[in-house]
């Protein structure tokens, strides 16, 4: 167990999510997957505690780099099984399938995000299609704009202190969508044609079931995409809460998560700060920065859904971190004035 805890092999645990969802959806037990993911995993995440499963460069030379690829393919298979079962599922089971695939798709975004940063064209193309299926046809462009405009709420994700997750989620999605469709967001002053193609593909995916008489599949797709988008935007809220309007190059723009199981299942998505420093850094080489959340993603998701509790925990952390950062900045400026030739 200790070897697994400190080994990059632990990232393979993430495949348990799509494989379990596929099995339980096929056997009519989608609600079991929902309960396991939202109730059992947070307990296991707390029990495993803080830690890092990464192996750095060693992992990059191993087959473990294939994990996001296998996860994406398994996720697609799970969605296909659930979509097929949704056609004849009774109402309660149908709702379970929708929620299960919405939760699974939210976790899949971490793996698809990794593929989107890969240099291989096939996997980048697959990730774009997968984002579209998950309800984010604009994800690649909105994500790139987010990277280049950190701390600017106009491009989504970033939330001002005192903003609730319920208000943020829908607003962030719409802002990111508007920014990606705004010609002024791009140097070329034109909306990328590929982005428009993604929306066309999404329309085809929704229309096809209706044409084939499987209207349940269309409702299923809309339902799980809505749940997935809400969770993804809430995770963005957790990652960037309280860091709005910080435009300095050395400003802190995100919170990290250093809980072992969260990073195993989401392939180090918790180490968000260093990802913003260099978006092409492989997931195995990410590491925590100075700003960390007090819990794992699965804990903080529940906390974010209760705004008074979230504010009581996070607002003070934001203020303390901001004050500490300002003192460090003032101290550095003072040293630069006193010893300009010695401080770099």
On whether residue 40 sits in a domain, the answer given is yes
pLDDT at residue 270, as a whole number = 74
The pair of three-digit structure tokens given for residue 226, joined into one six-digit string: 């809505």
How much is the pTM?
0.87
The pair of three-digit structure tokens given for residue 263, joined into one six-digit string: 């990073």
The pair of three-digit structure tokens given for residue 212, joined into one six-digit string: 């084939």
The pair of three-digit structure tokens given for residue 17, joined into one six-digit string: 């999510």
pLDDT at residue 57, as a whole number = 42
On whether residue 278 sits in a domain, the answer given is yes
Integer Cα distance of 252 and 146 in angstroms: 15
CB contact at 8 A, 174 and 234: no
pLDDT at residue 274, as a whole number = 59
pLDDT at residue 56, as a whole number = 47
Integer Cα distance of 40 and 223 in angstroms: 23
The pair of three-digit structure tokens given for residue 195, joined into one six-digit string: 């982005």
In the chain, how many domains are there? 1
Crossing angle for the helix pair 91-116 and 121-133, nearest 10 degrees? 150
CB contact at 8 A, 113 and 157: no
Integer Cα distance of 267 and 14 in angstroms: 8
What is the dihedral angle through the alpha carbons of 256, 169, 301, 132, rounded to the nearest 10 degrees? -80
The pair of three-digit structure tokens given for residue 68, joined into one six-digit string: 């996001």
On whether residue 126 sits in a domain, the answer given is yes
pLDDT tens for residues 156-211?
777 888 889 999 999 999 999 998 999 988 888 899 999 999 999 999 999 999 99
pLDDT tens for residues 43-81?
999 998 887 776 444 544 556 678 888 999 999 999 999
On whether residue 215 sits in a domain, the answer given is yes
The pair of three-digit structure tokens given for residue 115, joined into one six-digit string: 């593929």
What residues make up the domain containing 203? 2-338
pLDDT at residue 333, as a whole number = 44
pLDDT in tens, the chain (344 residues): 445 556 667 888 999 999 999 999 999 999 999 999 999 999 999 998 887 776 444 544 556 678 888 999 999 999 999 999 999 999 999 999 999 999 999 999 989 988 888 777 888 888 899 999 998 998 888 888 877 776 677 777 778 888 899 999 999 999 999 989 999 888 888 999 999 999 999 999 999 999 998 999 999 999 999 999 999 999 989 888 887 665 554 556 778 888 889 988 988 877 766 555 555 665 555 656 667 888 999 999 999 999 999 999 998 888 888 776 655 544 434 444 454 544 44
On whether residue 200 sits in a domain, the answer given is yes
- Where helices occur in the chain by DSSP H, the ranges are 2-5, 16-26, 30-35, 41-48, 57-60, 67-86, 91-116, 121-133, 139-148, 165-180, 193-211, 215-240, 260-265, 272-277, 297-304, 307-338
On whether residue 79 sits in a domain, the answer given is yes
pLDDT at residue 344, as a whole number = 45
On whether residue 344 sits in a domain, the answer given is no
On whether residue 343 sits in a domain, the answer given is no
């Amino acid at each position: 167990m200790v070897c697994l805890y400190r080994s990059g092999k632990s990232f393979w645990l993430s495949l348990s999510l799509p494989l379990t969802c596929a099995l339980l959806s096929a056997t009519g037990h989608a609600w079991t997957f929902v309960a396991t993911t939202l109730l059992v995993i947070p307990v296991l995440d707390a029990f495993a505690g803080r830690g890092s499963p990464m192996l750095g460069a060693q992992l990059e030379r191993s087959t473990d780099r294939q994990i996001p690829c296998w996860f994406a393919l398994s996720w697609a298979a799970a969605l296909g099984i659930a979509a097929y079962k949704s056609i004849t599922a009774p109402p309660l089971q149908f709702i379970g399938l929708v929620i299960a695939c919405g939760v699974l798709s939210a976790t899949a975004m971490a793996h698809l995000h990794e593929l989107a940063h890969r240099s291989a064209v096939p996997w980048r193309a697959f990730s774009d299609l997968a984002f579209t299926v998950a309800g984010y046809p604009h994800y690649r462009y909105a994500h790139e704009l987010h990277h280049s405009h950190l701390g600017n709420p106009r491009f989504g994700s970033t939330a001002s202190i005192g903003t609730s997750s319920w208000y943020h989620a829908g607003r962030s999605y719409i802002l990111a969508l508007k920014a990606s469709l705004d010609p002024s967001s791009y140097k070329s002053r034109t909306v990328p044609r590929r982005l428009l193609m993604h929306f066309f593909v999404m329309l085809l995916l929704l229309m096809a079931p209706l044409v084939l008489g499987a209207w349940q599949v269309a409702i299923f797709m809309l339902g799980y995409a809505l749940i997935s988008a809400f969770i993804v935007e809430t995770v963005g809220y957790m990652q960037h809460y309280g860091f709005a309007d910080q435009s300095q190059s050395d400003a802190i723009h995100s919170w990290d998560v250093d809980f072992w199981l969260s990073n195993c299942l989401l392939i180090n998505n918790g180490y968000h700060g260093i990802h913003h420093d260099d978006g092409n850094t492989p997931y195995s080489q990410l590491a925590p920065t100075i700003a960390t959340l007090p819990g794992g993603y699965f804990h903080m998701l529940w906390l974010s859904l209760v705004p008074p509790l979230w504010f009581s925990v996070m607002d003070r952390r934001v203020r303390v971190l901001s004050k500490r950062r300002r003192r460090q900045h003032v101290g550095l400026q003072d040293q630069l004035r006193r010893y300009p030739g010695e401080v770099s």
